[in-house]
Amino acid sequence: MNIFAKKSIKHLIETSEGGEYQLKRSLGALNLVSLGIGAIIGAGLFSLTGIAAAENAGPAVVLSFVVAAIGCTFAGMCYSELASMIPVAGSAYTYAYATMGEFIAWIIGWDLVLEYAVASAVVAVSWSRYVGSFLQDMGIVIPVRLAACPFDVITLPDGTQGHGLVNIPAMVIIVLISLLLMLGIKESASVNDVIVIVKLAVVLTFIVVGFHYIKAQNYVPFIPPNTGTFGEFGFSGIMRAAGIIFFAYIGFDTVSTAAQEAHHPQRDIPRGIIGSLVLCTVLYILFSFVLTGMLNYKLMKGDAAPVATAINLTPYPWLHILIKLGIIGGFTSVILVMLLGQSRIFYAMSRDGLLPKLFSDIHPKWRTPWRSNLLFMGFVSFFAGIFPISKLGHMTSIGTLLAFIIVCAGVMVLRYTQPKVIRAYRCPCFPLFPFLGILVCLAMMTSLDHDTWWRLLIWLVIGLIIYFTYSRFNSRLNKELKGG
């Protein structure tokens, strides 16, 4: 039994078209750009910007966004080439199956399962906190013990310290979005489109209004001198901040998971990936420039909501509420797109026989992999309700970086092994750009802490046990190669 057996591109496309595995093609280029924006603009923009400025780069965090964007662009162009060649669900998992074989595909698919699930849970917890704050502004108070997990130490109404019971708002948003995803991709994309419009309006409002309250002295010095410690200001601070805010760009890869539901995937998936990246990069640079101009970077240290602090400097109380709504909307769309990507990865792995068939069953009316959505509705809502953000960690980051490396390597492999295959989009400056993509992502992975690496290794060991006890014996490709 060949664990490194590869799927031909022709085979991948044929098995995805028609029959029991056909998903409904409902998405155009604008829907895909919107999905990318929905996943990218969220917690990263509204929280990581202030942290990176205060602790690493100062006002030069603007340059850090540029550096991080360059790294993402390399990976984004590689994603675009593979998506235009292999327009089926599964993203990096499917691309690895075609370029490096089943075993590597399993590893990256299992890795992506954790990445998207953890990301959804993390954002749901943040969503819960902002919704609680917003409702409190409206005079509605959620009992603190029902909006915090058992590991959270909270201040009770009587002033004493205690622990939460369960984060009900975080669980509710996971359940509601999962149900929405079951109903259909078009309906989910339409809701996301509305949220993205609101979110973009809020970001642009902050940029336009905040521009009038910039104080030039806040930019001096633009690059604070290094403190003598690597990563604390100076050039190394800019690079360290780039590694931190790189995670604010995570999400554009989820566009490729919807390839099988796009009207014209060869044309529209590259547009969705690159379009969302370009637009978000411009907004990030402008946003960080205005934020550090309104609020001195030293005042952002320890501030979990620097955007709200900056807005308080303006004489517009309504804007504070609007910003909170935008942040809540941002978190909502991130959860939606992450859960969408999660279910499509599981669907693709089940379709290939590596997971039980029930996860690739398509609902006869909704034409969605509803059982995958149902499984992760329970799995993710449990983690969101029971575990704090500190326990969920940086698993999203390391998983994404590993996927980026696989994709960049996949482009290089296919260029040499299948040079004649039609590519609607070709990554420019080959092989330089894919190689640089691998180097940049690998450098960011090595900067992550040891605990994150250990969590990834433990998760991968669990995946290997499943693969060698179930998946390799039920692999459709290996059965076909054996004539079974």
- Tell whether the model's pLDDT for residue 150 goes beyond 70: yes
Contact 150, 163 (CB under 8 A): yes
Distance, CA of 345 to CA of 364 (rounded, Å):
20
With pLDDT > 90 as the criterion, what percentage of the chain qualifies?
Answer: 6
Residue environment code for 330-369, b if the CB has 16+ CB neighbours within 10 A, otherwise e: bbbbbbbbbbbbbbbbbbbbbbbbbbeeebbbbeeebbbb
pLDDT digits (tens, 9 = 90+) for 168-179: 888 999 999 888
- Rounded to two decimals, the pTM is 0.75
Backbone φ and ψ of 163, nearest 5°: -115, 150
Residue 245 pLDDT level (bands cut at 50, 70, 90): confident
pLDDT of residue 419: 86
Tell me if 154 sits within 8 A of 145, measured CB to CB: yes
* Confidence band for 435, pLDDT divided at 50, 70 and 90: very high
Least confident of 86-90, 276-280, 451-455, 457-461: 86-90
For CA atoms 441, 111, 334, 37, the dihedral sign is positive
Which residues, other chains included, contact 17 with Cβ-Cβ below 8 Å and sequence gap of 6+?
A: none
Say how many C-beta atoms besides its own lie within 10 A of residue 422's C-beta. 8
20/320 Cα distance (integer angstroms): 49
Q: Residue with structure tokens 């909307």?
A: 329
Torsion, CA 429, CA 422, CA 416, CA 105, rounded to 10 = 100
Of residues 380, 297, 254, the one with CA closest to residue 59: 297
Residue 1: its pLDDT value, please?
59
CA distance linking residue 276 with residue 271, whole number of Å? 8
Q: Are 26 and 185 in contact (CB under 8 A)?
A: yes
Q: Which helix (H) or strand (E) holds 221?
A: none
- Is the omega angle on the peptide bond into residue 364 within 30 degrees of 0, that is, cis? no
Give the whole-angstrom CA distance, residue 139 versus residue 133.
Answer: 10
Please enumerate in sequence order all residues whose Cβ is within 8 A of that of 480, keeping only pairs 6 or more positions apart, or say none.
none
Sign of torsion, CA 238 240 241 245?
A: positive
Alpha carbon 424 to its chain's center: 25
pLDDT of residue 469: 92
> DSSP alpha helices (H): ranges in 295-431?
306-311, 317-351, 370-386, 389-392, 395-417
Q: Distances from the Cα of 24 to the Cαs of 18, 39, 82, 186, in angstroms?
A: 10, 21, 21, 9
Mean pLDDT, residues 323-345? 79
Specify the DSSP element, H or E, that contains 93.
helix 92-99
Residue 272 token pair? 């969705």
Mean pLDDT, residues 111-126 taken together: 79
Asked if residues 295 and 116 have their Cβ atoms less than 8 Å apart, the reply is no
> 224 and 233 in contact (C-beta within 8 Å)?
yes
Window from 94-98, 128-132, 298-302 with minimum mean pLDDT: 298-302
Annotation: CATH topology of 9-481 = Amino acid/polyamine transporter I (1.20.1740)
Q: Enumerate residues 6+ apart whose C-beta is below 8 A from 479.
A: 353
State how far the alpha carbon of 321 is from the alpha carbons of 133, 196, 206, in Å. Answer: 10, 17, 12
In this predicted structure, the answer to whether residue 152 has a pLDDT above a threshold of 70 is no
* Whole-number Cα distances in Å, 251 to 192, 380, 435: 14, 18, 21
Q: Identify the pLDDT of residue 89.
A: 60
pLDDT at 174: 92
Block residue for tokens 């690998």 = 442
Residue 155, φ and ψ in degrees, nearest 5: -95, 120
Q: Rounded to whole angstroms, how far apart are CA atoms 114 and 456?
A: 9
In a 13 Å sphere around the CA of 149, the CA atoms on its Cβ side amount to 21
Instruction: Give residue 289's pLDDT.
Output: 92
Bigger pLDDT: 247 vs 427: 427
Contact 272, 29 (CB under 8 A): yes
- DSSP symbol at 300: G
For range 18-36, the mean pLDDT: 64
Question: What values do phi and psi take at 258, rounded to 5?
Answer: -95, 15
Among 335, 274, 343, residue whose Cα is nearest residue 109: 343
- Kindly report the number of other CB atoms within 10 A of residue 98's CB atom: 25
Three-class DSSP category at 262: strand
